[in-house]
Structure 1
Amino acid sequence: MQRAFAVAVLAAVVCAVVGSFVVLRGMAFIGDAVAHAVFPGVAIGYVLGANLAIGGAVAGVVTALTISVVSQNRRLKEDAVIGVFFAFAFGLGIVLISTQSTYTGDLASFLFGQILGLSDGDVITVAVVGALLIAVTLLLRKELVTVSLDRETAAASGLPVFWLDTVLYVMVTLAIVISLQAVGNILVLALLITPAASARMLTERLGVMMLLAAGIGVVSAVTGLYVSYYYNLASGGLIVLCLTLVFAGCWLAAPRYGLFARRRTGRPPAAVAA
C-alpha cells in the first residue's frame, strides 16, 4: 500500500501538470490516442516475453512522433491524423494478440491496472521519469503556451513549432506510461485530463491551474485507494470515479464559470466560453 500511494500521488501530479497543456490546447484526443497506441508495444512485449511497460513506451513514442510529423501538413486537422493512427495502433495490437492462444495476468494488469503489485523499482522509475517531465514542462512552459494558443503566431515569431509539438506528444506518452500501473490503459486518460479540466473551471492562470490540478489528482488518487482498500473494489476505477465527482462539483459550483454562477449572473454559456 505504501508503494501504491507513492506511485498514485506521483502519477497524479505528473499527469496533472502535463495534462494542463493538453486541456489548454484542446487536444484531449491525443491522450486517448496515445493511451491506445501503447497497446501494440504491449502486445509485442507479451509475444516476445519482454517487459510490457518498455514495449508500450516505445510504441507510444513512435506513434506520437509519427502523429507530430504527419500533422504538420495543415491540410489535415490534427484530430483527423490522431484518429488515423489511434485506430491503426489499436488494430495492430489486436492482430498481434490474436496470434497467441493464451493470455497472462501481466497483460490484464497493464490494461486495467495493478497498483498493489508495484515494486520498489517501479516507484523509483515513476519518480525519476516524473521529475524529468515536470522539469521539462516548467522549462518550456512559455513556449508551450504560445504554441497552444496560436500556432501561426508562434511560427511567425520564430518558435520551433514542430519540435515543441513533438516534445509535448512525447511528454504525454511518458506521463501515460508511468501511470498505467495505477489505473490501467483503459482509464489512464481520466488521470491526464479530468484534474486539469476541473482546474480549468476554477482559474484562468496556468500556474494556478497546474497546482489545482495536481491537488485534485492527489486527493482523488488517495481517496480512491483508501476506498478500494476498505471495500475491496477496483482501485483504478475508484480513482477515476473520485476525479469525475470533483469535476462534476467544479462544473456545477465553480465561482465564476460553474453552472450556478452562470445562472446567478445571467451570462450565457457562449459569453463564459469567450
Structure 2
Amino acid sequence: MMDVIQWFAAPLQYEFMVKAIWVSALVGVVCSALSCYMTLKGWALMGDAVSHAVMPGVVIAYVLNIPFAVGAFIFGVGSVIAIGFIKAKTRVKEDTIIGVIFTGFFALGIVLVSKIRSSIDLTHILFGNVLGISDADIVQTMIISVITLVTLAILRKDLILFCFDSTHARSIGLNISFLYYTLLSLLSLTAVAGLQTVGIILVVAMLVTPGATAYLLSDRFDHLMGIAIATGVFSSVIGTYISYHLDASTGGCIVVLQTLLFLTAVVFAPKHGLLVRAKTVRIGEMAASAELDAGASKRDERH
C-alpha cells in the first residue's frame, strides 16, 4: 500500500509535474468531449488532416509573435476550405483530397521550421512537451478549453443531430454549414491544446480514441460522453505518471494507454465486444443445429 502511495506522491514533489498532470487532465476532458462528435460523424481522417495542417500556422504565429491558436485556427479552417473547394471542383474523392492536403500542409510546416532561425523545437511540435509547458501556454490551453466546452454545451442538441443525420438536420431548418464549420473550428483550436501535451502527430489519437472506446461501451450519447471523458482523463493523468516513472515520452505514454483501453473495450465490451459476439454466434449456431436435428427427427418419425 505504501508503495502505491509513494508511486503517486513522488511526482507531486515537482511543480512541473503538477502542472503537467493538471494540463494533461484538462486536455483529456476537451479532446474526449470533442471525440464523441468526431466518432459519430466518422471524421477520424478529417481530424488527422486538421491536426497536421495546423503546423505551418503554429510556426508563422511564432514568427509574428502572436498566439499559436490564431495561426493554427487559420490554417486548420483553411485546410478544410481547401478540401471542400477541391472536392466540389474536381472528380477526386474526399479521402484522397484529405491525404494530399494534410501532408502538403504538414510538409510546409516542416520546411518553415527548418528554414526559420528560431528557438522552435520541431520535436516539441511533433510530440508535445507538457513537462516544460509555460504559464502562457497553460492560460492559452485553458481559454481554448473553455471556448470548446461552452460551445459544445450550447450547440449540443444541434451538433448531435448533425452528426447522426445531417440530412434530417437540414430538413428541419438547421444551418448545416454553420455547424460544419463550427465543429471544424473547434477541432482546429483543440488541436493546439493537444499539441502542448502529445504533439501534432499524436493529437489525432486523443481526438478519436476516447470516443471510439465509449462508442463500444454505450448506445446513449450522454453515457458515451461520460465514458469518453473518464477514459480520456484517466489515460492522460496515469499516462503522465507512467512517463515520469519510466522516463519516457509523456505523449506516447498517454496515447498507448488510450489504445490499450480501446483494445480492452473491443474484446470485453458487454454488448459489442468480441467475446459477446463470439458467444452470440455460438448460441446461434447451436440453435440452428438443434432446429436441424429436430427437423430430422420429425422426418424420421413420419417415415
TM-score scaled by length of structure 2: 0.80
Q: Which residue of 1 aligns with 2:49?
A: 33
Determine which of 194, 202, 225 is the counterpart of 1:179.
194
Alpha-carbon distance between aligned partners in 2 of 1:137 and 1:233, rounded to the nearest angstrom: 34
Deviations 1:48-75 (A, max 9, x none): 6765554333322332344456667797
Alpha-carbon distance between aligned partners in 2 of 1:217 and 1:267, rounded to the nearest angstrom: 34
Deviations 1:16-39 (A, max 9, x none): 111100000111011100111011
Q: Which has the larger radius of gyration?
A: 2
| CA RMSD after TM alignment | 2.5
Q: Which residue of 1 aligns with 2:75?
A: 59
Change (3 A) 1:134 1:72: farther
Q: Which residue of 2 aligns with 1:272?
A: none
Identity of aligned residues (%): 39
SS in 2 for 1:159: coil
Letter in 1 for 2:251: G
Query: How far has the Cα of 1:110 moved from its partner?
Result: 1.5
Letter in 2 for 1:253: F
Match status 1:15 vs 2:31: yes
Alpha-carbon distance between aligned partners in 2 of 1:74 and 1:194, rounded to the nearest angstrom: 32
Deviations 1:236-271 (A, max 9, x none): 100011000100100000000000011111289xxx
Range moving further from structure 2, 123-132 or 62-71:
62-71
Query: How far has the Cα of 1:108 moved from its partner?
Result: 2.1
SS in 1 for 2:159: helix
Residues 64, 173 of structure 1: 8 Å contact kept? no
Q: Which residue of 1 aligns with 2:203?
A: 188
Q: How many pairs are equivalent?
A: 267
Alpha-carbon distance between aligned partners in 2 of 1:89 and 1:227, rounded to the nearest angstrom: 33
Residues 128, 197 of structure 2: 8 Å contact kept? yes
Query: How far has the Cα of 1:151 moved from its partner?
Result: 2.2
Residues 41, 163 of structure 2: 8 Å contact kept? yes
Match status 1:233 vs 2:248: yes
Match status 1:146 vs 2:161: yes
Range moving further from structure 2, 135-144 or 13-22:
135-144
Change (3 A) 1:105 1:162: closer
Alpha-carbon distance between aligned partners in 2 of 1:194 and 1:29, rounded to the nearest angstrom: 13
Query: How far has the Cα of 1:154 moved from its partner?
Result: 1.9
Alpha-carbon distance between aligned partners in 1 of 2:95 and 2:163, rounded to the nearest angstrom: 14
Q: Which runs of 5+ in 2 are unaligned?
A: 1-16, 284-303
Alpha-carbon distance between aligned partners in 2 of 1:70 and 1:133, rounded to the nearest angstrom: 28
